[in-house]
Amino acid sequence: MQIEWSDQYKLGIPLIDAEHKALADLVNHFFIRSEAGAAPEELEAILSSLIDKTRDHFRHEENLLDRHGYPHLALHQDAHIGLLQHLSRFQEDYIQGRTEARDITVDTVTFFRNWLLDHILKDDMPYRPYIQTLS
Ligand SMILES: [Fe+2]
Ligand SMILES: [Fe+2]
C-alpha cells in the first residue's frame, strides 16, 4: 500500500514539486518500513523527519506566496497549521502505540493520501497562476 505519485500533482515549480515528491517518498518509506516490521524507534524517527520536512516545505511555500503577493496566503497558512496538527496527532497516537496508528491499514493510507495529495490538488494548485517567476 503506497501513495502513487503522478504528474497530476506537479505544479511546474521545480523546488515545490521536488519537496512534494520528497514528502510522498517519505510517507511511502514509512509504509514500507512498517510493513517490513521495522522497530518502532525507526518508524518514529521517520515520522519525526516527515514532520520536520513538512514544516520546512510549508515555510518555503509561504515565503514564495508572500513574495508573489498571493491574496489567499492567510487561508493557506491556516490549512498548513491544520495539516501539521493532524500529523502531530498521528505521531502522538503512534508513539503511544494505539493500534490503529501502528498497523498500516487502508485508513492510514487514506489519511496520508488525503493529508498530502488533497492539499496539493485543492490548496496548492490554485496558487500556481500567481507565481509569475517560476523558481
Ligand atoms: Fe500548501
Ligand atoms: Fe505544498
> pLDDT, tens digit, for every residue of 98-116?
766 677 778 888 889 889 9
- The rounded mean pLDDT for the chain is 91
Q: Which domain holds residue 69?
A: 12-36+53-130
Question: What interhelical angle do 40-67 and 73-95 show, nearest 10?
Answer: 170
The domain that contains 111 carries what CATH number?
1.20.120
Q: Measured in angstroms, how far is the CA atom of residue 37 from the centroid of ligand 1? A: 32
In a domain, 74, yes or no: yes
CA quadruple 108, 48, 38, 118: dihedral positive or negative?
positive
- Single pTM value for the model: 0.91
Average pLDDT for 58-67: 97
* Phi/psi-derived region of residue 98, left when phi > 0, alpha when psi is between -120 and 50, beta in every other case: beta
Please check the confidence at residue 24 and state whether its pLDDT lies above 70.
Answer: yes
Number of domains comprising the chain: 1
Q: Measured in angstroms, how far is the CA atom of residue 52 from the centroid of ligand 1? A: 15
13: Cβ contacts below 8 Å, ≥ 6 apart:
64, 128, 131, 134, 135
pLDDT for 20: 97
In a domain, 82, yes or no: yes
In a domain, 44, yes or no: no
pLDDT bin (cut points 50, 70, 90) of residue 133 is: low
